[in-house]
């Protein structure tokens, strides 16, 4: 029986591309209001796992998914309105992808598409989301400027603000640090620590120390398999079930 605090329950999830396995037999639960970290070397299936969580496999004809994903008590494969699902599960990709719109319109787009038209309501949403992404003070006087003109770190935070504009219940972050300088990375990490009071977060990162700083629990993926899951600090303190986990955390491979 799934506990009341389980936001996402994955059972026997397998993913393949053109018949070639990318992930096999993954089962795990993500609890409400936690930051759930996923670590592992390139090619371990981390991003493929994220793609299944809001039905992005529908966008890839060569991707096959088996198993079950239950989000907030509902099997996502049976949810007919995929766009409604994606409003509840936001995604932030590794490289910031600013829409060719103003900073304001980047954040206001999704609320407008959902039917919000009044400027006062949109203004409130834009300011709230930019504040939550720690970007408001830097852009409040140039909201009409193109989002693509911001720095890489600012664009990454704009992408987070855009994801937050839909009030998601689950936020998926896929290696957000790739295009971001260390100072901005730390700022975004501070944002995520605050956001988990409102949103459940799954964080895929290639930086094991980032997982240690942020994640309540961490899963280790390797070669398409889930090796183990544990309390993050316990894992880093050597309380592991599989030697490969220790080897990865201590930098012996990856």
For 220, the token pair is 């280790």
3-state SS assignment for residue 157: helix
CB atoms within 10 A of CB 156: 30
Q: Please, are residues 13 and 69 in contact by the beta-carbon 8 Å criterion?
A: yes
Three-state secondary-structure class, residue 87: helix
Condensed to tens digits (0 to 9), the pLDDT of residues 2-19 reads 445 999 999 999 999 999
Enumerate residues 6+ apart whose C-beta is below 8 A from 145.
102, 103, 139
Domain boundaries, the chain: 6-95+168-249
User: Which of 89-103, 115-129, 165-179: highest mean pLDDT?
Assistant: 115-129
Block residue for tokens 């720095």: 151
State the distance between the two ends of the chain, measured CA to CA, in whole angstroms: 36
Residue 94 vs residues 97, 198, 226: alpha-carbon distances, Å: 9, 22, 22
Residues 106-147 have pLDDT tens digits of: 999 999 998 999 999 999 999 999 999 989 999 999 999 999
Triad 46, 51, 53: Cα angle to 5°? 105
0.75 exceeded by pTM = yes
The whole-number pLDDT of residue 30 equals: 97
Q: Per-residue pLDDT for 91 more than 60? A: yes
Backbone φ/ψ region at 167: left (φ over 0), alpha (ψ -120 to 50), beta: left
List CB contacts of 132: < 8 A, sequence separation 6 or more: 160, 161, 164, 191, 194, 195
Closest CA to 241 of 219, 214, 211: 219
What is the CATH number assigned to the segment(s) 6-95+168-249?
3.40.50.300
Judged against a pLDDT cut of 70, whether residue 1 lies above it is answered with no
Categorize the per-residue pLDDT at 97 as very low, low, confident or very high, splitting at 50, 70 and 90: low
DSSP 102: B
Residue among 108, 135, 134, 109 nearest 123 (CA): 108
Cβ atoms of residues 117 and 136 within 8 Å = no
Q: Any idea what DSSP says for residue 77?
A: G
């Amino acid at each position: 029986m799934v506990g009341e605090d389980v936001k996402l329950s994955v059972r026997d999830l397998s993913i393949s591309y053109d018949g070639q396995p990318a992930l096999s037999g993954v089962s795990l639960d993500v609890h409400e209001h936690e930051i759930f970290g996923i670590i592992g070397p390139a090619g371990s299936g981390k991003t493929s796992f994220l793609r299944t969580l809001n039905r992005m496999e529908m966008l890839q004809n060569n991707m096959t998914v088996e198993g079950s994903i239950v989000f907030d008590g509902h099997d996502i494969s049976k949810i007919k309105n995929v766009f409604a699902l994606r409003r509840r599960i936001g995604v932030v990709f590794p490289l910031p992808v600013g829409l060719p719109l103003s900073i304001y319109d980047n954040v206001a787009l999704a609320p407008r598409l959902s039917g919000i038209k009044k400027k006062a309501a949109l203004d409130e949403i834009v300011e709230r989301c930019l504040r939550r992404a720690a970007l408001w003070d830097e852009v409040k006087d140039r909201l009409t400027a193109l989002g693509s003109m911001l720095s890489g770190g600012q664009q990454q935070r704009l992408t987070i603000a855009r994801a937050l504009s839909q009030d998601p219940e689950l936020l998926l972050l896929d290696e957000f640090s790739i295009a971001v300088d260390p100072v901005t990375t730390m700022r975004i990490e501070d944002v995520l620590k605050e956001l988990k009071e409102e949103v459940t977060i799954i964080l895929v990162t290639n930086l094991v120390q980032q997982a240690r700083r942020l994640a309540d629990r961490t899963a280790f993926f390797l070669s398409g398999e889930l090796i183990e899951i544990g309390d993050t600090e316990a894992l880093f303190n050597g309380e592991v079930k599989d030697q490969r986990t220790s080897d990865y955390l201590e930098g012996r491979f990856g």
